[in-house]
Amino acid sequence: MVSRSETSVGNWKLKRKIYISFFTLIVLGIGTYLYINQREVPIEQVFPGKIWAKPIENLPDLKGVGAPTAKNCGNCHTEIYEEWKRSTHANALSDIQFQSELAKPSSPKWICLNCHIPVQNQRETIITGLKNGNYFRPVEVPNPHFNPDMKQEGVTCATCHVRVDSESKESYVIGSVGGTTPPHPVKIDRKRLFDRCYDCHNETYTLNESLVCSFQTGSELNATQSKESCSSCHQPEVRRSFVKSSLNKPVRTSHKHGFIGGGVPKTFDLYHDQIRLGYKPGIVLSNIKVQNGSIEITLTNANASHHVTTGDPERFYRLDLVGLDSKGNQVFHAEKKIGQEWAWSPVAKKVSDERIPFQKSFVWKLKESDSPVVSYVFQAVHVRLKNKTSDYMILSSGYVSSPYKEQVEKMKDLYPHSSIIIESSYQLKTKFRKDTALEDLFQRNALRKGE
Ligand code: HEC
Ligand code: HEC
Ligand code: HEC
Ligand code: HEC
Ligand code: HEC
């Protein structure tokens, strides 16, 4: 028989046990949660083998040069610096479209910056790991070697040319020639310089449902029988001294550093330099044929050992055909897009791909107009940014901070969206074809706005 008081003591003991276990469980739960949630996971573990997951380590001052900034290299390599300064590489941070996309809450900013400002000296902070392996939660500590001038230099000279010697811990320059007499340490490694392009231009990685990058330019080149490297076309040869003339160095085979690509530069004033720095269209208009009520326009990728377009999946060529009557009035218009189509939700997926591989042709077939056309004008326009996309960027400029915010708001006026690459008029009666010179087209491109 148990008295009431004994029962309540027993109950109380039992309750106390339950409370303690419950409490311990909660503490353990919170502890485990905090541990998992706050634990710092190394970047290598989250992105194994990915070069772009980390910037190039902090570079100490280079003997004979000082801080390894492009500006300092430019003190002697004046022409190369002047060319590079006009390149997309030099604009990889200041690019208005980049700033707009970077500011989106969905962008894991540190990853974007790893390819657009790839040297640790260009970054305010060092990322030591990711909380719980989550790429939206980088653990950052201040970088004592941050160089604000270098930050603005985008894909700066040191990205390709400067590394730290693992033994001496000193910076050296990677060169490609040899037999030169630089005031700075140099190691000749051509292959390493050439292969460097692939680190950024040949990467496909799906981070989450929205894609980070799908650049296959390297694989496209490898799939052809071409023996060319990226540099053989994008860094054309020029005979000159590597440095300013006051240093009295011999004239050698040098390479332009404008890295010209699709002919749509980042600002309107750069149009004037595209051809000088080596721009060449990849596609040529190999034939216009009007016969038996049908029109056939043939474009061939004759000059680019990769697809046209390549790189960013949003790019495309727009083909425009306008028919004119005897008074010069437009009586016919047709349009066709050559590029990739992607569906972005629920998962990013390529739906179609009509781009032109190396040495292949694309034939645009259409019915001849019923209107009294006497001549046709054909245009191929390389589009980098659609009007619809820049409209959207302007609408969401609230995410961007000054000074880029003001630039995004005015991007219709500040940012080239497209360039006319080919223009040709064709007289039906005489079958006479006249192509507009590239120089004339680029003068007009500098004044055009939008898609
Ligand atoms: C004080 C002048 C000076 C500065 C500053 C300078 N260089 Fe040089 N560099 C030279 C000279 C001189 C040569 C040799 C030219 C020759 O002998 O024809 C050279 C050669 C080179 C070469 C070619 C080496 C080879 O044999 O392939 C590379 C690449 C190079 N420099 C990169 C850089 C980079 C990158 C920077 C900035 C981080 C830089 N240089 C800064 C003077 C300079
Ligand atoms: C660290 C990453 C990185 C490396 C390495 C790199 N690039 Fe780039 N490259 C970029 C980025 C980023 C852009 C685009 C910047 C933008 O549009 O804002 C670019 C743009 C270009 C363009 C311009 C395309 C156009 O139409 O404007 C060409 C051409 C190019 N790179 C060629 C090369 C070549 C050749 C090499 C190797 C010698 C190379 N790149 C190495 C990151 C890199
Ligand atoms: C995207 C990578 C990349 C960047 C950025 C870059 N270079 Fe180069 N550079 C190369 C490659 C590749 C070569 C070798 C080209 C060849 O031999 O065909 C080269 C060659 C050189 C040479 C040897 C001479 C010549 O003209 O071939 C010098 C000097 C040089 N670069 C200096 C610079 C300087 C200075 C900067 C910045 C203002 C710079 N480079 C930016 C990739 C780059
Ligand atoms: C045989 C010459 C050649 C080689 C080799 C070559 N390219 Fe190109 N590339 C071109 C030409 C020409 C264009 C312009 C195509 C056009 O828009 O009509 C171009 C365009 C580009 C563009 C701009 C694409 C666009 O659609 O806006 C990039 C980026 C580029 N190339 C990167 C590379 C890289 C990276 C490599 C090496 C993996 C490489 N290229 C190798 C000739 C070449
Ligand atoms: C693996 C390296 C890499 C990473 C990571 C990367 N980019 Fe780029 N980005 C490039 C290269 C290379 C180009 C130039 C591609 C070309 O011209 O074919 C480029 C071009 C661009 C352009 C210009 C497109 C155009 O058509 O002119 C924008 C905008 C951009 N990147 C935004 C971003 C954002 C935002 C992120 C992060 C979410 C990011 N990038 C991450 C390498 C990278």
Instruction: List, for residues 275-314, the tens digit of each pLDDT value.
Output: 999 999 999 999 999 999 999 999 999 999 999 999 888 8
Which residue numbers in the chain have pLDDT < 50? 1-3
Q: Report the predicted TM-score, pTM, of the whole model to 2 decimal places.
A: 0.94
Give yes or no for a contact between 305 and 228, defined as CB atoms under 8 angstroms apart: yes
| 295 bridge partner residues | 290, 366
Q: Give residue 191 CA to ligand 4 midpoint distance, Å.
A: 19
Residue 355 and residue 307: Cα distance in Å, rounded? 6
pLDDT the model gives residue 209: 65
Q: Is the CB of 245 under 6 A from ligand 1?
A: no
Residue whose CB lies within 8 A of the most ligand 5 atoms, among 98, 221, 384, for a mutation test: 98
Give yes or no for a contact between 359 and 309, defined as CB atoms under 8 angstroms apart: no
Q: Give residue 42 CA to ligand 5 midpoint distance, Å.
A: 24
Ligand nearest to the CA of 252: 1
Residue 329 and residue 331: Cα distance in Å, rounded? 6
Give, to the nearest 10 degrees, the angle between helix 387-395 and helix 96-103. 50
Q: Give residue 61 CA to ligand 3 midpoint distance, Å.
A: 19
Residue 16 and residue 14: Cα distance in Å, rounded? 5
Domain ranges in the chain? 44-255, 268-445
Q: Give residue 201 CA to ligand 2 midpoint distance, Å.
A: 7
Give yes or no for a contact between 127 and 43, defined as CB atoms under 8 angstroms apart: yes
- Residues having CB closer than 6 A to ligand 3 are 70, 73-74, 77, 80-81, 84, 89, 155, 157, 159-161, 176-177, 193-194, 196, 231, 235, 242, 254-255, 257
Q: Give residue 257 CA to ligand 4 midpoint distance, Å.
A: 14
Q: What is the DSSP letter of 184?
A: S
Maximum alpha-carbon separation in the chain: 122
Residue (of 299, 301, 300) closest to 320 by Cα position: 299
* Torsion 211-213-215-219 (CA) sign: negative
